[in-house]
């Protein structure tokens, strides 16, 4: 992974890379793309890694016709974790935002999170949980999940929500590759950031977190997986952290 190629223009903020992993997202992806692009500057990039969509997702992305969008199509399906990892590998700038294909960003999200990244390695913002039609289900994901920093807390009950995360590029040198035992990319990135620097949980709602029947994760903070599977994932994450960063 190369360093940032963006040139800092006087009076403009630092360039950002927004990384979206898409898969059969034709229902909502246009709305999400629009909500992101309106707050990006000409020197930003919007990376989309598509995991072999069989619907109109790729056509919708290409039809936007914005030069800031860089679309990559996987030759074979990688799954959610590896698809996000692939998107991150393409990122060129020093400030990276993760983006889901079915949410809606508020117009001040990039600016607010960049301000927090001035003193933090990672920032996790709050979001409003909504249904497929953007009707409110929960006013605050933080309140629903008890979100906050801490390795032990998040191993027990993960509150690192990828679509609400932004971080400095330096995190990737420690976090990639994502270990095979990690259940999702976001909890691994959050835990690595927690071991490496300051993580800020920003109690401001900066996006709508859309939950619907085709969502890749559970809808209301309650896992559909067995207790044994959850415990196995936690064990795998703890072991992976120890192997990556040592026992000292």
Q: From first to last of its 248 residues, what are the pLDDT tens digits of the chain?
A: 444 444 444 458 999 999 999 999 999 999 999 999 999 999 999 999 999 999 999 999 999 999 999 999 999 999 999 999 999 999 999 999 999 999 999 999 999 999 999 999 999 999 999 999 999 999 999 999 999 999 988 988 899 999 999 999 999 999 999 999 899 999 999 999 999 999 999 999 999 999 986 554 544 555 566 777 777 888 889 888 888 887 44
**Residue extents of the structural domains in the chain:** 16-245
pLDDT of residue 214: 57
Helix axes of 185-196 and 80-90: crossing angle, nearest 10 degrees = 50
Q: What is the model's pLDDT at position 232?
A: 83
Report strand pairing: 45-50 vs 122-130: unpaired
Cα→Cα distances 232→17, 156, 179, 188, Å:
33, 12, 14, 14
pLDDT, tens only, 28-81: 999 999 999 999 999 999 999 999 999 999 999 999 999 999 999 999 999 999
User: pTM value?
Assistant: 0.89
The continuous run of DSSP H or E covering 244 comes out as helix 227-245
Q: Which of 111, 123, 102 is nearest to 33 (CA)?
A: 102
pLDDT of residue 7: 45
- Chain centroid to CA 19: how far? 7
Query: Given this model, what pLDDT does residue 156 score?
Result: 85
CATH 3.30.450.20 fits 16-245, yes or no: no
Helix (H) or strand (E) holding 80: helix 80-90
């Amino acid at each position: 992974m190369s360093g940032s190629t963006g040139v800092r223009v006087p009076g403009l903020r630092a360039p950002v890379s927004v990384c979206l992993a898409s898969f059969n997202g034709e229902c909502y992806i246009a709305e999400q793309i629009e909500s992101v692009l309106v707050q990006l500057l000409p020197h930003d990039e919007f990376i989309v890694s598509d995991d072999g969509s069989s619907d109109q997702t790729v056509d919708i992305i290409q039809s936007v016709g914005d030069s800031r969008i860089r679309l990559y199509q996987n030759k074979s399906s990688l799954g959610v974790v590896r698809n996000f990892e692939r998107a991150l590998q393409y990122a060129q700038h020093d400030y990276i935002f993760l983006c889901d294909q079915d949410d809606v960003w508020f117009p001040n999200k990039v600016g607010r999170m960049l301000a927090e990244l001035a003193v933090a390695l990672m920032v996790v913002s709050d979001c409003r949980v909504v249904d497929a039609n953007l009707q409110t289900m929960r006013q605050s994901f933080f309140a629903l999940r008890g979100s906050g920093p801490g390795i032990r807390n998040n191993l027990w009950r993960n509150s690192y929500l990828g679509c609400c995360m932004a971080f400095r590029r330096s995190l990737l040198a420690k976090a990639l590759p994502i270990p095979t035992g990690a259940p999702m990319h976001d909890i691994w990135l959050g835990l690595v950031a927690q071991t490496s620097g300051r993580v800020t949980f920003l109690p401001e709602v900066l996006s709508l977190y859309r939950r619907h029947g085709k969502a890749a994760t559970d809808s209301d903070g309650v896992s559909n997986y067995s207790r044994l599977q959850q415990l196995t994932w936690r064990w795998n994450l703890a072991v992976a952290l120890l192997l990556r960063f040592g026992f000292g």
